[in-house]
Structure formats: C-alpha cells, structure tokens
A and B are shown apart, each in its own frame.
Chain A
Amino acid sequence: MVFYGRTCRMSFDEEFATMSIKLPDGKAMRDSQIFSAGLNNVVTTEREFDELVAKSLPELLDRATGQTKRFLRETNQWGDDITHEKMALRWGYELVERFVVFGRTEVPCRPFFLLDSLIAKSFSQPDPLCYHKELLTPVGRFLDGLASRAVVSRDALIALFYHFYGFSQAHVVKLLGFGQAESQRVYKNFERWRQSGWQRTMNETGLSVSEIEVLEQELRTRPDHLNHEVDRLMPILQSHYRKSEPEHYPCLSEQKWGQLFHDDYGHDYRVWHLAFCRNCFLEVADRRQAEVSSGLKPQVNLQIHPLKKGGVLALFGGDRGGRHHGNTRAQRLSRTSA
C-alpha cells in the first residue's frame, strides 16, 4: 500500500530529525550529566546494584519523574500545576519501584541505561498512564489512587467494594458467594487495608490530609452531589483499569452470571470483574439481594476512610433511587439480547 510506504519514510525521517534537534540544544547532554558516574558504569553484582540504587534513589526518582513529564508534555497531557507535578512524581515512583526490583536480575548492566529503557518500554505500551482531565479533581485523584492500587493489590481490590458501594466484608463475601476459606481471605484483606493499606495508598497517591478532610466534609454536607460525581467518573476510571484485569474477563449476561454462581466457578472472575465493572456489579448485586440481605437497591455509596473495625454501617444509605442505574442496565440488557 502506498500509504504505508509514505508513513514509514516519514517516521524514519522524524526520528533523525528529533535526534539532530535535541543534540544541539544540549538537552541530551544535560540528561546524562544529571547522573553520577556510578549509574553510568557497569554494575556486575546484585549487591553492587542494590547498594548503588539505595544511595541513588533521589537521582533515580528525579530521572523517572523527568521522563514522565517529558512524555506527558509530548503527548499534550501536561499542565503547569501541582496536580500534574504530583502525577509525574507518582508515576516516576512506580517506575523506580519496578526498576529497583527488576534491575538486580539484569546484572551486569548500566543502571542508567536500564532505567531509561525500562521507562521507554513502559511508555510504549498502549495507554500507559491513566490520564483523564476529569480525574484531576480531588475526588477523581482519590478514586484513581484506589483503582490503580487495586490493580496490584488484592487488599485494595476487595476494598473497592467498600469505597464504591459501602459493602462491608460480610456483604462482600455474600455478594461473591464465597465459602469459609475464601471469606477468611476477604476478612484478612479488609484487615490489612484498614491497618496500613489505605494510608499507604493515600500517601503514595499524594492526597494530603487536608485534601482528604475536604472530601470528608463534602461527603457529609452534600452526599448526593459527591456520589453523583463518583457515578459519573466510574466508567472513565473502570474503562482504563479494566484493561489490567485478567485476559478474557468480559462482561457477562445476567443469565451467564447466574450460571457462574449456580455452578460455583470463576471465583477470581467475580472478584476482578465485579470490582471493576459498575454495570455488572449492580446487576449481580441486584440479583443476589436475597443473599446480601439488604432489601435496598445497591448503588454508588462513596466511603473515604476504610471500614472501621467492627463498624456497623447502613449498607445502601438512604434510598437515592437508582436514577442512572436503571438506565444503564436497560441498555446493557438490550445489547446482551441482541
């Protein structure tokens, strides 16, 4: 195809164009000078790597953060404010966290080059960062922090049921139709999340104490408004993070969900998909109301802090009458039957 031929040439030219533009202004030079000699040299043992990394963390973090900023700028996703700065730091942090662990399996290596290639590799994934303008608000960052943690932590994944819908551990166990052993695990998830997981996630997301207080305040004074906002943001958030769920976990029809519960299989499927898919969650929660024994319609019911030990809660709060939910479910069902 003629068109392909043209684009190939184009990207090739661009590549060299960038090279020649960047070198004269000295940017590339500065980049490498930021690094101490140690990070440029070959490291031959794991121990050497660990030691060098331990004392170069600030340099590594700044490097990864700088690269993230550059990526955001070049993809028109940058704004000059503290929220963007924090975001770049957070992603830089996640890159360095992996680098520290992966790097020691790559010795002998040059740490400097390894970090750069790891970053380049990460950013060359499709949609590598969850960047959406709507998620830049405090509540958006709160939700994003929870969801991105849930990708790597089962504690956080289980906690999503509480933070999004106000489900306690007992409700979660019933919703998911778990037996003895698995419910133990859910209780442990809740416990660790309460003890340290939540705080760590808030810290690593960069939500300050005052920001969390403001959210709390708003939830007290205008719960409907905030829940409505969460309801609006959830599809954006979930469409990004559902890509991280195990392959081949698509939405199921009501009938298929029923079968999955009835025949007692797909336990991981239930956890993953229902935590990350509002539509399926509402459908399944609705169907399993008898088991969850609430008698109220399940709906979005934001919780900021983790569930207190032995805390009793009103499961679905006041009836805010599934305004949007009925709607979305009807859509989904019609698509299923099509």
Chain B
Amino acid sequence: METPELNDYRAHLLDALDDQPRRAAEERPGFFQILVNHEGVGTLNCAQTDPSFAFTARERSIQHLEIRSESGVLIGGCVAPEAGQKSLRIPIGKGSVTIHVQNHFDGGSLRVRYEAAPGWWAHLAATVGLSSRPAAPAVGRTPVWTMTTAFAQIVLAVGVVSLLAERIPHWMGSDDRAHQLEEELAARHSAQEQIDRVHQQLAQLVEAQATAVAVSRSEQERIAQLNALVDTVAQTQQKLNTQVVTVQEDLKTVKTDVAQEVQTGMRVAVSAVEADRELVRQDLQSIKSVNETLIKQVALLESRNRELHARLALTSLEVAKANASAPKATVLAKNDAAKDVAIPTTVADGHREADRQAFMFWVAFEDGTTEKSIEDLVQELNGIKKGPMKSGWYSVEVNLPKPEPPDRFLESVKRAKIVKSVVTSKAMPPAQ
C-alpha cells in the first residue's frame, strides 16, 4: 500500500532516524532513565555525589539495555549476551557513562556510572604509571605559570613537573617542541588505548573460550585482529622511541641537568608502556596454545553457524507467535515472583489460583474443531471441562504437579493445533 500520507510518514521517520545521532550527541548530563528489557528500572542522576546506579534482575538475564534522557532520546544501550558480560562507555557532554552488564542464564546484574570530565591528563599520568599528585605543590611554586594548558598537561604527564617548576621560563617560546611533545604524548595515549583494547579483547577471548560452544562469532577474526593490534602497538612503540630521540636532541639546548631529568621521566614513561606491552605479549603467548584448539573448534562451529542463525530466527518467530497470543501467562509468572516483596501486594488481577494444585484456565478452539478432538485434548491433559461453553470459551481444570509452572503448561497447551487461544481469568470467560 502506498499513499502520499504513508510516504510522508515514512519520510518523517527516516528524518527522525537520521537526526538521532545528533540529538543523542547534544544531550547533557542530567537525569537518565535506565530501561532493562524495555522496562524502566530506575534513574541515574548525574548531579549526585556518586552518580551510579546498580540493578539486579532475577528470573531473566539483562538482554536489552537502554539509557534515555528525560525527553526520551536514546543515548546509548546494548544487547547483552545471555550469559557473560558486556561493558561499554558512552560519551555524554564532556563526561561519559560506563555500563557493565554481567549475565547468567537466570538473571543478571547491571552497573551504570556517570563520570564527569575525563581529565585526560589524569589518564595520561596513569598511562605512564605516575600519580598526578606532584602537580599540586608545583602549581603553588610557579608564579609565572603562563604556559598554555596543553603544555602544562604534557609536563604533568611526563611526571617531571616538580623538577621543572622553577625552570619553566627556560622553556618559554619553545612552542614547536611543545607541539612535538604533544604529538608524542598523543601517540603514547593512543598506544595505551590500543593496549587497553588488546587487554579487553583478550579478556573477551578468554571468556569466549570458556563458552566456546555458545559463541557464534568468529574467533579467528578476533585473533587476527589481536595480532594486528599487537603489531600496531609495536609500531607505535617504535615511533615513540624515535620521537624520544628527537626530543632528547632538542633538549641539548636546555641545561644538561634538566635534560637528564626529562630523559629519566621519558624513560619511565616509555618503560611503563613497554612493560604493559610485555604483559600483553605474555598473555597472548599463554593463550595461543589454547587458541590452536579453539581454532579447530571454531572452524567446526562456523560451518554450523549459518544453519544455527537461520534456526534461531525461525525459532524466535515461533516463540513470538506463541507468546503474542497469551500475555496472561507471563503476567501470572510475574505476580508469583512479586509475592516475596516487602510491600504487601494487591495484585490487580490476582491469579492466586497458581498456588493451588488445581489450576483452571479458559481455552478457545479453532473454528471447525470437533467435539471429539476437544475431548481428546482435555483427556490428554488429564483435565476436566467445567461447565458449558461460554461465548466460544471452555473452562478447563487440571491438576498440576506442584513444581510444574502454570505458564509453561499453558505454553504447551497453546501449541496444540486445535487451540486458538488460552487465558487464565477467575470466573468469567475473557471478553472477545
């Protein structure tokens, strides 16, 4: 069907989708709504002293996670694996929100945290393994602190600020070098990021090994990526070293003692990065042998992947079909679980029959279903028809063994070919 009205609507929705990234990027820290599996679970207030939010899901794992602004703009979110973990970071204004999801098959936990300005100098200081604390006295001792902020950050980052503080004026006018240093540090920063990423991917890979059978993505690709990343890190490292040499030469114009101090600082920085890289290399070595086995498994898995994907989609649709016609079954399960909550519940629909062994439900059959096949089904269920049919609905009572959850039972009733619909409601047949 195509009408101008429909086309207009479609065009409008496309515009809105196109505009989405811009709207999300414009959001500033404030109150964020957190939705898990399409249910609101709480609010993160970025203005709090400790802007974090934690949530634990019982019954179901955390599959969908959405973070939205008060006006409903979708700022970030993810789908999480049914078992396993997922972490992500969403930039918001100058800060960011970090999300960590940890799932197991029958539940999961979520941590969301807002971090104000990332303070990349602090990050840099951490990168080179130095605390940014020496910065504090330095500021006090530097009355002629007229350097650019960027330059100050560089000095802080190499951790020689307290040494250099009194000699800062000597550095005046060396904008070129400042620029060079800035580049050098940016490179180091990105090297660290790459290392972080390798670390992260390694963690993921290790986890993937544990659940290799459940993992449907290609591990081979990941290993290739890891290798590529390690190569890049190595390259960046080389570049860093050459840059250090350049800087060293530049420093010859500066007083020798200062140069030595700076060199020391540099070396500390470089060796920190190097040590990190060595760690990654060792990690990689130790898992490489395990990977050999994994690769074989993965090859096997991959050949079955396509089939599995197809089946997953089809199965989901099957489940969807079954679920769509019987929302009550889920409501029922939910109410049951809500009973252990502190607040005494006055559950609207009160399906308390679930407690008892005798369980009653209403069932409607497809048109043209014979009385005989209805009888057969009821018999197969070990059930009893209660009373006459009311506007197309039969009331059936069954005896469920205690541990048998009624919703699962109803689910299976629904799958019978002749059954059109199943509901649970107290006494009245459901309104059509």
Within 8 A of B (CB), among A56-98: 57-58, 61, 71, 74-75, 77, 80-82, 85-86, 89-90, 92-93, 96-98
A188 touches B18 (CB 8 A): no
Interface string of A167-196 (1 = CB under 8 A from B): 000000000000000000100110010001
How far apart sit A93 and B19, CA to CA, in the bound complex (Å)? 13
Q: Which residues of A contact B72 (CB under 8 A)?
A: 149, 152-156, 197
Tell yes or no: B111 within 8 A of A by CB. Answer: no
Within 8 A of B (CB), among A93-123: 93, 96-98, 100-102, 105-106, 108-109, 113, 116-118, 120-123
A188 touches B70 (CB 8 A): yes
A244 touches B13 (CB 8 A): no
Within 8 A of B (CB), among A302-338: 332, 335-336
What is the chain A residue whose CB lies nearest that of B222?
A108
B39 touches A11 (CB 8 A): no
Tell yes or no: A247 within 8 A of B by CB. Answer: yes
Most central of B10, B64, B86, B331 by chain A CB within 10 Å = B10
What is the chain B residue whose CB lies nearest that of A1?
B404
Known: A152-B68, A250-B343. A106 touches B313 (CB 8 A): no
Tell yes or no: B33 within 8 A of A by CB. Answer: yes
Tell yes or no: B77 within 8 A of A by CB. Answer: yes
Q: Which residues of A contact B10 (CB under 8 A)?
A: 61, 89
How far apart sit A197 and B74, CA to CA, in the bound complex (Å)? 14
**7 A-B pairs whose Cβ atoms sit less than 8 Å apart in the complex:** A15-B314, A42-B221, A57-B18, A81-B1, A116-B313, A120-B320, A155-B70
* Chain A interfacial positions (CB closer than 8 Å to B): 1-4, 6-7, 10-11, 14-15, 18-19, 42, 44, 50, 54, 57-58, 61, 71, 74-75, 77, 80-82, 85-86, 89-90, 92-93, 96-98, 100-102, 105-106, 108-109, 113, 116-118, 120-129, 149, 151-156, 185, 188-189, 192, 196-197, 200, 203-204, 206, 208, 239, 243-248, 250-253, 256, 268, 272, 332, 335-336
* Chain B interfacial positions (CB closer than 8 Å to A): 1, 3, 5-6, 9-10, 12-14, 16-18, 20-21, 24, 31, 33, 35, 37-43, 63-64, 66, 68, 70-72, 74-79, 86, 88, 217, 221, 225, 309-321, 323-327, 329-331, 338, 341, 343-348, 350, 380-381, 404, 412, 415-417
Given A19-B314, A54-B21, A128-B320, 11 more pairs with CB closer than 8 A? A97-B20, A98-B66, A98-B77, A101-B24, A120-B317, A151-B35, A152-B35, A203-B12, A244-B38, A247-B39, A252-B346
